[in-house]
């Protein structure tokens, strides 16, 4: 299998700092009763959530949800299952879903619907990567790190059969 780096470690770190600035500006203006709750979507978002949260200049809470749509495959099954639910009651809370990558958008649509029924005060999404533009799909995601080509990528949390999550950069994975 061949790997072609498309987003370097330095580029990721720069963009994460920019996203954190934008999030701080936009949430900082609002009057909030509670801390912002970052909801990391396991497992792929663990590096992104870790880096992003440390760039935010205000106190946040962190929780995780685990969903499966690929189950070790390179293509989405289209079926989204909750494997681990949140520990936090999000009613009345400001919630920011932290996602690694958006491909068809099905996972996020499902997550927004599910978490929306729990009546958060606000619900937004930050995704490090998106293939929506490459796929010609309109985006409703509030914060996006990088639009990438419609290719299968690994690294910085993203895996192929549990491999490559610890690469510090993003690479296209090709058979061969
Ligand atoms: P969607 O529901 O938007 O089609 O897919 C979202 C999920 O599929 C992501 O959270 C991620 O787990 C997985 N996924 C989508 N594209 C890729 C990719 O290029 N590489 C890896 N490793 N996972 C991906």
Q: What is the number of structural domains in the chain?
A: 1
> Which residue's alpha carbon is nearest to atom 17 within ligand 1?
152
Question: For position 73, what pLDDT does the model report?
Answer: 55
Number of H helices, E strands in the chain: 4, 9
Q: How far is the CA of 33 from the centre of ligand 1 (A)?
A: 34
Residue 107 CA, closest ligand 1 atom number: 2
94 lines ligand 1 (CB under 6 A): no
Total residue length of the chain: 176
- Do residues 91 and 54 touch, judged by C-beta distance below 8 A? no
pTM for the whole structure? 0.93
**What CATH number does residue 116 fall under?**
3.40.50.2020
Q: Are 157 and 165 a contacting pair, CB within 8 Å?
A: yes
Could you tell me if residue 143 is left (phi over 0), alpha (psi between -120 and 50 degrees) or otherwise beta? Answer: beta
CA distance 119 to 174: 42
* Per-residue pLDDT in tens (0 to 9) along the chain, 176 residues: 899 999 999 999 999 999 999 999 998 766 667 799 999 999 999 999 999 999 999 999 999 999 876 545 555 556 678 899 999 999 999 999 999 999 999 999 999 999 999 999 999 999 999 999 999 999 999 999 999 999 999 999 999 999 999 999 999 999 87
Distance 36 CA to ligand 1 centre (A): 25
40 lines ligand 1 (CB under 6 A): no
Task: Say yes or no: CB of residue 158 within 6 Å of ligand 1.
Answer: yes
Ligand 1 atom with the shortest distance to the CA of 104:
4
pLDDT at 7: 98
User: Residue 20 sits in which domain range?
Assistant: 2-26+34-174
pLDDT of residue 79: 67
Catalytic residue among 103, 140, 150, 159: 103
Closest CA to 147 of 138, 159, 134: 134
Q: Rounded to an integer, what distance in angstroms lies between the CA atom of residue 146 and that of residue 165?
A: 18
């Amino acid at each position: 299998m061949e790997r072609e780096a498309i987003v370097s470690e330095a580029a990721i770190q720069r963009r994460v700092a920019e996203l954190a600035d934008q999030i701080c500006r936009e949430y900082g203006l609002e009057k909030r009763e509670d801390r912002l709750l970052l909801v990391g979507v396991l497992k792929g978002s663990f590096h992104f959530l870790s880096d992003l949260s440390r760039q935010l200049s205000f106190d946040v809470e962190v929780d995780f949800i685990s969903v499966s749509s690929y189950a070790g495959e390179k293509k989405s099954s289209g079926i989204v299952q909750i494997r681990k639910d949140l520990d936090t009651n999000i009613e009345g809370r400001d919630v920011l879903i932290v996602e690694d990558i958006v491909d068809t958008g099905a996972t996020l649509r499902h997550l927004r619907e599910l978490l929306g029924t729990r009546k958060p005060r606000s619900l937004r999404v930050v995704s490090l990567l998106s293939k929506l533009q490459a796929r010609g799909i309109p985006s409703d995601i509030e914060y996006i790190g990088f639009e990438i080509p419609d290719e299968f990528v690994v690294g910085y949390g993203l895996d192929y059969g549990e491999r490559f999550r610890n690469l510090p950069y993003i690479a296209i994975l090709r058979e061969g």
